[in-house]
Amino acid sequence: MTLHSSNSKGLQVGVGAGVVLVALALGVGAIDISSDAGYAGVGPNFLPWVVAGALLLCGVLLIREALTGGYRELEEGSGDERANWAGFVWLSVGLLLNAALITVLGFILSCTLCFVLAVRGFKNSEGSLDLSLGALVKDAAIGFAIAAPVFWLFTKLLDINLPGITSTGWL
C-alpha cells in the first residue's frame, strides 16, 4: 500500500498524532528533570523541553498537512516491499552488544563493534553483504575513526565521563 491510496489520509494523520504523542511523553518526562541553572545559565531540562516543543510543532504541522490535502509531491518509497529481517538482526545485535559491552570494552571499542555490525546490516539489505576480513577491518577502522574523536570530545573537551578501557582517558 502506498501513501497515495484511499487510506493514506488516516495513515498520515496517524503519523502526525504519533509525533504529537512522543512530544507529550518527552514533555512529561522533562517535568521530573531538575531546572537548576548550570553551565551557560540553562538547566538540564532545557534541551528536553526544546526537543519536545519542536516535536510538538512538527506533529501539529504534519496533522494539518494531512487534513488539508495530504503530503504533497510525495515520491514512491525506494525500499523493498518487505522488510529485510537479516539486516534488522545485524543492526539489533550491534545496538544490543554496544549497550551490553560499553562498560567492558569501553566507549570506543563498543561503538566500533556496533558500527561494524550496522554496516553488515545495511549491506545485507542492499544485497551486498561482505564478510571478508578486508571489509571487516576497513569498517572497524572507519568505526574507530568516528568513535575515538567523539569519545575525546566528550571526555577531554566537555569533561563528560564515558566508559574507557584505560585510566588515561584516551582509550
pLDDT at 1: 41
The pTM of the whole model exceeds 0.75 = no
Q: How far apart are the first and last CA of the chain?
A: 48
Residues in the chain with pLDDT values less than 50:
1-4
> Interior CA angle at 125 toward 120 and 126, to 5°?
100
- Cβ-based neighbours of 7, under 8 Å, separated by 6 or more: 1
pLDDT at 69: 83
pLDDT at 2: 46
pLDDT at 39: 61
As a whole number, the mean pLDDT across the chain is 85
Rounded distance between C-alpha atoms, residue 52 and residue 22, angstroms: 8
